[in-house]
Structure 1
């Protein structure tokens, strides 16, 4: 499959008809949320971590009270992954409920609010945290309002679970920013870790929605049958166990109890790996991209849980395995698969996506090396940021011609 769709040949078309085919780039990018926000997510993920380490030496210029690690974790969750979340949900919500997609100027409003916070986050500007908080809460509130409006007008409950998780994610943002504004770095770190767990809960929910149709399409490209039908109990198991772990963190339970809850949540995510056992086709990149994220996320939570139960494991390793590995690969997979379907293409994904998956895995392994005492931390962080940037750069080079092509407007294939 070739990702780049040909631009329509307008030669020989009368001038009036020729004008009708002229669609500006801004119009193409705001036709649906994924066209604008998937590239923004890739750009942020590729550039921000590298600039933090290579240019600012991981000591953000504006961070005077809040540690750079808190800014880093927050910006990856609400920046890179947040943009992918906006693109995915503003595209998926209309599809799941048979409503008109959000498009045009309102998407620029979302991008503007998201972008203001990201510029502030690039420098870790503590003094501008109130403005960044308002900007992030604006797009989060907009997503929630959008989902509520669709649910009310369509009289559907299909989006209620996502509304609940989005509300929790917004609440975690408000709490995190509140601590950041007050200069309480430790408390802000604890709050943003809860936000990371919330995003893992949304990951489990999203994979439950997209995993079945994608797997069935891989197994039967004709879409005449549905050979893959997972056990219904798996649909919400991972998200439910993550929610219990979050409740334990918020309630301030003992370290040992929270450790066991994290182990249980990790096991729930690892359970999703079983959905990749579909025979020979389980080796396909599209299937691997669906079971590998919960595998890494689950392993990360097991790491964290074991550490709280006394194992000699540094928490940073568990968080990076769960969020950098699990969420990072999940974002790459969702952008790759949804980017194809909503631009008139279908599986398989192109070779650059397979390369990107491999490069991202290498990035995660390099980042974990210092936690195991294998390599100098700064060199590992720099190398990991370069590999991470390369993974998202490969995706962007492959998908930009597709997402920006007017010829793909109004087309939808696959799931």
Structure 2
């Protein structure tokens, strides 16, 4: 849903088209909800039903953002549509392999879906970073001192794509390990341009940076596992999912929660800082027991990480709900 929310609002903004709203938005939520309810209730018999609605939801979202691009006859943002369709295919692959009893194939498709989600994060961050960091350096928006190198912006996504293809089609090859290490290095290389002074410690900037750092560490861990280092495969996967994607999603929630309600990023509410801290803690608690030096935290880390993750979004909602109920108006009654 976080991906749908981002694409459903960002693509219309980029293409200057009308965003999804009203009955269409309600229908989209109706396609998304059954799968969540079935998963929450643990109804294994309803997994086929849930899969149907999940695929329908992703295809409907693809049609909506594709229609926005077609209306403006632009292909600038076509990469998002292509990756969303690939994500849909990976989701279908997971369902097919699971229903056919091939758990090894299902795990490969599941990792491919995670890689696609990471590529979408990489593409999104390439656009978001520039705006957010320049506003952190110059809140007035009069200058754009931060101009990242295009190669650094896109190398991470390219390396993840190569790793994903190798892992999906040649899972036994050691090439997967080296491509994973290359993907991790590419994410850390992105951070080489984040030496921007004290502005890097602003919550919204730091959280995006930590998303890249978690992603880099995740792919390095996956590569190290394949090369025989004493690290479980779950460590890398959870660094990517709970850590990287968790930080990225919360960063977007904070940034969009302010900018889309007519406010700026100059003064973040205290709940934004607390939500960011809780999300980082959720990522760390989830993966630390996977390493030998923190094994004593197991088996409590699963539940504790889930509580911290949920608390992060709960704190965010408590702080940002008043903004969403009164968009464009701050506590003093003035437009942001």
Give the TM bin, normalised by the shorter chain. over 0.9
Q: Structure 1 CA distance, aligned partners of 2:28 and 2:219?
A: 32
What's the counterpart of residue 222 of structure 1? 140
Alignment of 1:225-374 (within 5 A): 225-348=143-266, 349-373=268-292, 374=295
2:321 to 385, 390, 400: 400
Q: Structure 2 CA distance, aligned partners of 1:153 and 1:363?
A: 41
What do you get for the CA RMSD once the two structures are aligned?
1.7
Contact in 1 for aligned 2:219/2:236 (Cα 8 Å):
yes
Q: Structure 2 CA distance, aligned partners of 1:401 and 1:183?
A: 47
Offset, 1:268: 1.4
Q: Structure 1 CA distance, aligned partners of 2:74 and 2:256?
A: 23
The structure that has the greater radius of gyration is 1
Contact in 2 for aligned 1:259/1:306 (Cα 8 Å):
yes
Q: Summarize the Cα distance change of 1:100–1:297 in structure 2 as closer, same or farther, 3 Å threshold.
A: same
TM-score relative to the length of structure 1: 0.76
Q: Structure 2 CA distance, aligned partners of 1:406 and 1:339?
A: 10
Q: Structure 2 CA distance, aligned partners of 1:188 and 1:211?
A: 34
Q: Structure 2 CA distance, aligned partners of 1:151 and 1:355?
A: 37
Offset, 1:376: 4.8
Q: Structure 1 CA distance, aligned partners of 2:328 and 2:280?
A: 34
Q: Structure 1 CA distance, aligned partners of 2:66 and 2:284?
A: 40
What's the counterpart of residue 332 of structure 2? none
Q: Structure 2 CA distance, aligned partners of 1:368 and 1:154?
A: 44
What's the counterpart of residue 90 of structure 1? 8
Secondary structure of 2:174's aligned partner: helix
Q: Structure 1 CA distance, aligned partners of 2:296 and 2:326?
A: 44
Offset, 1:276: 2.2
Ranges in structure 1 where 5+ consecutive residues have no aligned partner: 1-82
Q: 380-389 or 211-220, which moves further after superposition? A: 380-389
Q: Structure 2 CA distance, aligned partners of 1:157 and 1:251?
A: 29
Q: Summarize the Cα distance change of 1:369–1:224 in structure 2 as closer, same or farther, 3 Å threshold.
A: closer
What's the counterpart of residue 300 of structure 2? 379
Alignment of 1:93-104 (within 5 A): 93-104=11-22
Offset, 1:406: 6.1
Q: 282-291 or 180-189, which moves further after superposition? A: 180-189
Q: 308-317 or 352-361, which moves further after superposition? A: 352-361
Secondary structure of 1:345's aligned partner: coil
